Amino acid sequence: MGKEIIPAAEKSLNLIRGRLCDPSYVFRPLSASSDSNYSKLKFIVSTSITEGCNNSILLLGPRGSGKAAVLDLVVGDLLEEFPDSVSLIRLNGLLHSDDNCAFKEIARQLCMEHHLLFSKMASLDENSQFIVAMLRECGLAHKTIIFVLDEFDMFAQGKQRLLYSLLDAMQSVTSQAVVIGLSSRLDADQLLEKRVRSRFSHRKILFLPPSREEFDGLLEHLLSLPADSSFPNGYVSRFNEKIKNITSDTRFKDILRTLFNANSTVNSLLKFIFRAVSLMNLESGLLSLENFKAALSSMQRQPKLEAVRDCSILELYLLVCMRRLEVKEQSSYKIISVMKEYKTIHDSFQTSDYYAQNVCLRAFEHLRERQVICYTENRGQSQTGEYRPMKLLISASELHQGMRSHACCPAILLKLLDH
Amino acid sequence: MPREESSKATRRSTRSSSSVTVENAEPNESHQPTVDDLTFGDESITVDAVLSNFPGRRSQILDLIRLMGPLDCPTLPVMIYGSASTGKTSVVLQVLRHLSRPFVYSSCRTCYSPRILFESILNQLLLHRKCSSNGYSSAKRCDKPSDFVNLLREALGNVIESLESGSGTSRPDKSDGKPMGKMVYLIFDNVDLIRDWDKGSMILQFLFSLYNVLKMPQLGIILISGLPPDVYYSNMGYTDPLPLYFPEYSEEDLRQIFLRNQANRKLYAAFLDVVLKPFCRVTRRLEELSTTFSSLFRKYCEPLDDLGISPNEDMKRRLYSHLKPLIAPCLNEIFRVSSHPHDGDTRGERRQKASYSSENREELETLDFHMSVSAKFLLIAAFLASRNPATLDASMFDSTGGMDNRKRKRKASEKSMEKKEMAEQEAVMKGPGSFPLERLLAIFQCIASVGDSSFGEEEEEEDEDPTGYDKENNNLMSDILLQVSSLCDANFLIKSGSCPLEGSIRYRSMVSEDLALKAARSLSFPLAKYLYRR
């Protein structure tokens, strides 16, 4: 290891990776324009704070499109603008979908904000009474409580007691509260019960993937280094120059187009850039097009192909036998029928790879562990292992491709697969 | 002798005094864990050492180091996946040893429920060690993900604070095993086992979104899974971690791995030239190959007197011819190497399965585990009950105790013979049939009474009841019912679904024909006579 790592390279790597892992930095330029979701959301919440009314909104969009990030930006700005009249309660559907947990968590966060003592032994009713009382008090003091419900669709499962009590309290008690729900299901509001839906104002903000120009702007925003004095002089300009060269290259545009054809959310772009930046050559401290190409190929994984490539030759034989049985119109087959097919192949082609029953059973287990085959029915062990019907989990073309790229697949297997 | 008397005197001392004199084997009473214990503990090693320790994993190790980034660099969650024994866990731990960064490791195999998993992580972060003074309890009780998130945030905050204050002192030397940097890494091993847990899918969702929920840039998460990431796709969707794949070893890598730590590398290389290729066709898993190779290598070296010599071509040929007869049968065994090299293949040709050779015949003859006589009869009865249709019981097991007039006298035509063969094979393919308990007991009593008279003598010896009441049969019956349940536990019988008309539980026999034949042979029971053939 005789090459020197430039310390500036490490610093720039740290800086860029830190930016990529910080959602609020990523979404700031996207929120700059006046008709973006950021400004819409900010308008709604700030009006309800200033006018002292209740409100409820849903933020909907696919995963990784920045709902939580934009919400954090808005909340951060509001906390600066109105420091004393906003308090924030955060709930997550994955953690708090159970009503007990949810009420306990709300009570705990309220206690923490207002410096009250929280008792872990409080029951559900006590917690809900406490919450209603706090809502009334905060309403009288003109303080708005913002409830953020992540994974809103998880709260809409079951009896929806939390949603009902929150929305009901907002309507009946003198309270000032805003309920903001975030969900990746675009039909989250259809999941609500009738009485909950009637108390819910049907405001929805959709988060759509950004356009191509916005993506280009985002790339530049993420990858260009600031021209401050912590970096050596020529380095920053060289780095930014290289970035400009790469982004204007048509090959890079092709790479981006391939990426966006698969997944056009901001999150996948972030992962792509993260991977590319991690491959940065630390000796020169500059990014190159090969980094981005390697990042793209590592994002395009094909696990079933990899599984087939990892199989031993006996396992390939068994897969080919199953495929042949499938061709003969049997949709699920038992191990003994596969073994019969295996024996027929051995007899007709005189292959050298004929092994005993227990070795083949072990090979079946390996295939099942890799999720290349599975049992068709799971209703318990009503049959012994050799008589349970199984089926293939990969298609014929994947099997073909996998076998062709296998390191040492015997030619006879490919012939058998094609008949 | 005075010495003996004094030792006797101590032995006669009371329990309370002897417990005081016994050394309390608590090694870590005085040692309180600190933040420094969060690293691997040993001296740090260089990248080259890591690379040479893991032949064939060069690109994966370099990828992992690059993904984790330089010191104090925030990172997105990483998932490492690959099949068993491909070195995932050991590579991750050795890379963290090289980087000397603090980490918390927990495996979902040893922590088999969410509560144990959460508490194990919290114990490590809160630097709490279970010992007798706190009754071997955890620091905090935590079984819900919501509590876990709050407690984890607190604990991580404390650890990061102490790391930051500790790293104020300059520590240029990386090799003393002290933690470097301000980031803490959480490693979750065997994540694929969570799928089988109760509410496993929720816990998996929670793990994958842990990074987003906590929003702490000083936390790095590494997930190790035996299954590829596409099995975790659910209809809820999740932000998937960065995948890193550990493929199976190629033949060249396997050769390098096996050559490590060998006393005589040339000899072992010659051995590998012979065995590696054929065995790789069957399986490429490291643990299966290593068990076979270790016993085969001992056989290989048998004709050699001096194990330290490096063989020339002539000797290699000799050793190969010595080993060759063992290779073929060994390919068909899973864990054993048979001890007798076969000599004479003539008897093996009559076998239908072409893969068994004659040396396995002795093993075929006997059961390799012990069963009582009544259990063997039960096994045979279950096998017969599953194979024969119920309507033929009366004629098969009549009072004469056997069937001898089933053989067809007339010669069947070839076509009908073929059809019968096909029908028989289809019946075999359908699998063993199910039977109620009464049928099993009836068949058992029938064949047990037919069996050798020594069985009856044993009974009389065991029966000590003076009143000649029919306790014999009752003793036998309760004994048999116990045997039925122990056969069920041993998976020779399974309970299949109950018949909807009768409502009683039906059983099914899982015994293969070989095992039934072995059991029958050990009892000198003519099994073939009772098997129904069309």
User: Between chain A and chain B, how many beta carbons pairs sit less than 8 Å apart?
Assistant: 159
C-alpha span between A176 and A411 (Å, rounded): 74
Residue B107 confidence (pLDDT): 94
> Which among A95, A336, A408 is the nearest to B149, CB-wise?
A95
Task: Test A407 with B250 for CB contact under 8 angstroms.
Answer: yes
> Which among B74, B247, B494 is the nearest to A310, CB-wise?
B247
Residue B177 confidence (pLDDT): 61
CB–CB of A388/A334 below 8 Å?
A: yes
If phi > 0 it is left, if psi is from -120 to 50 it is alpha, else beta; for residue B186 that is beta
DSSP string, A254-321: HHHHHHHHH--SHHHHHHHHHHHHHT-BTTTTB--HHHHHHHHHHHS--HHHHHHHT--HHHHHHHHH
CA distance, residue A51 to nearest chain B CA (Å): 32
Query: Tokens standing for B489?
Result: 């536990």
> Which among A94, A306, A315 is the nearest to B247, CB-wise?
A306
Q: For residue B435, give the H/E element and its range.
A: strand B434-436
pLDDT, one tens digit per residue, over A21-55 is 888 888 888 777 767 888 889 999 999 888 888 88
Residue A60 confidence (pLDDT): 92
Residue B27 confidence (pLDDT): 43
Question: Three-class SS of residue A148?
Answer: strand
pLDDT, one tens digit per residue, over B412-459 is 577 878 887 777 777 777 777 888 888 888 888 888 777 654 444 444
Burial B478-514 (b: 16+ CB within 10 A, else e): eebeebbeebeeeebbbebeeeeeeeeebbbbbbeee
What is the arithmetic mean of pLDDT over B127-150?
84
Stretches in chain A below the pLDDT threshold 50? 1-2
CB–CB of A203/A56 below 8 Å?
A: yes
Mean pLDDT of chain B: 76
Residues of A in contact with B83 (CB under 8 A): 310, 366, 369-370
Backbone angles phi, psi at B247, to 5 degrees: -75, 170
pLDDT score of B339 more than 70: no
Residue A57 confidence (pLDDT): 92
Q: Does B85 touch chain A (CB under 8 A)?
A: no
Query: Tokens standing for B127?
Result: 């630097």
C-alpha span between B379 and B373 (Å, rounded): 10
B364 pLDDT band (50/70/90 cuts)? low
Q: Does B226 touch chain A (CB under 8 A)?
A: yes
Q: Does B508 touch chain A (CB under 8 A)?
A: yes
pLDDT score of B4 more than 80: no
What is the arithmetic mean of pLDDT over B522-534?
77
Higher pLDDT, B425 or B291: B291
pLDDT, one tens digit per residue, over B461-489 is 444 444 444 444 555 667 788 888 888 88
If phi > 0 it is left, if psi is from -120 to 50 it is alpha, else beta; for residue A249 that is beta
pLDDT, one tens digit per residue, over A209-243 is 888 888 888 888 888 888 776 777 788 888 888 88
Residue B466 confidence (pLDDT): 46
Residue A209 confidence (pLDDT): 83
Query: Tokens standing for B5?
Result: 């008397």
C-alpha span between B172 and B317 (Å, rounded): 57
Q: Does B332 touch chain A (CB under 8 A)?
A: yes
Query: Tokens standing for A9?
Result: 């390279």
Task: Test A95 with B146 for CB contact under 8 angstroms.
Answer: yes
Helices (H), A91-201: 93-96, 99-113, 124-140, 152-155, 161-172, 194-198
- Give the amino acid at B429: M
**Among candidates B198, B178, B185, which has minimal Cα distance to B80?**
B185
Q: Which B positions 232-271 lie with beta carbon below 8 A of chain A? A: 236-239, 242-243, 245, 247-248, 250-251
C-alpha span between A131 and A127 (Å, rounded): 6
Instruction: Mention every residue, 6+ apart, whose C-beta is less than 8 A from residue A379.
Output: none
Q: Does B114 touch chain A (CB under 8 A)?
A: no
Instruction: Mention every residue, 6+ apart, whose C-beta is less than 8 A from residue A65.
Output: A207, A208, A209, A265, A266, A267
Query: Tokens standing for B524?
Result: 């000198």
Residues of B in contact with A92 (CB under 8 A): 213
Nearest residue of chain B to residue A306 (CA atoms)? B247
Residues of B in contact with A13 (CB under 8 A): 69-70, 73
Q: What is the pTM of this model?
A: 0.81
> Which among A17, A101, A357 is the nearest to B146, CB-wise?
A101
**Among candidates B165, B314, B215, B395, which has minimal Cα distance to A23?**
B215
Residues of B in contact with A334 (CB under 8 A): 429, 431
Task: Test B231 with A371 for CB contact under 8 angstroms.
Answer: yes
C-alpha span between B124 and B142 (Å, rounded): 14
What is the arithmetic mean of pLDDT over B179-183?
81
Residue located via tokens 């190629």:
B250
What is the arithmetic mean of pLDDT over B14-21?
49
Q: Does B11 touch chain A (CB under 8 A)?
A: no
Residue A32 confidence (pLDDT): 74
What is the arithmetic mean of pLDDT over B229-233?
85
**Among candidates A158, A162, A195, which has minimal Cα distance to A181?**
A162
Task: Test A355 with B331 for CB contact under 8 angstroms.
Answer: yes
Task: Test B283 with A366 for CB contact under 8 angstroms.
Answer: yes
**Given the DSSP bridges, would you call strands A373-375 and B103-107 parallel, antiparallel or unpaired?**
unpaired
Residue located via tokens 């053989």:
B407
Query: Tokens standing for B48?
Result: 């080259």
Task: Test B242 with A274 for CB contact under 8 angstroms.
Answer: yes
Residue B498 confidence (pLDDT): 65
**Among candidates B509, B195, B238, which has minimal Cα distance to A94?**
B238
Task: Test A384 with B432 for CB contact under 8 angstroms.
Answer: yes
Q: Does B291 touch chain A (CB under 8 A)?
A: no
pLDDT, one tens digit per residue, over B35-44 is 777 777 677 7
**Among candidates B100, B97, B143, B102, which has minimal Cα distance to B120?**
B143
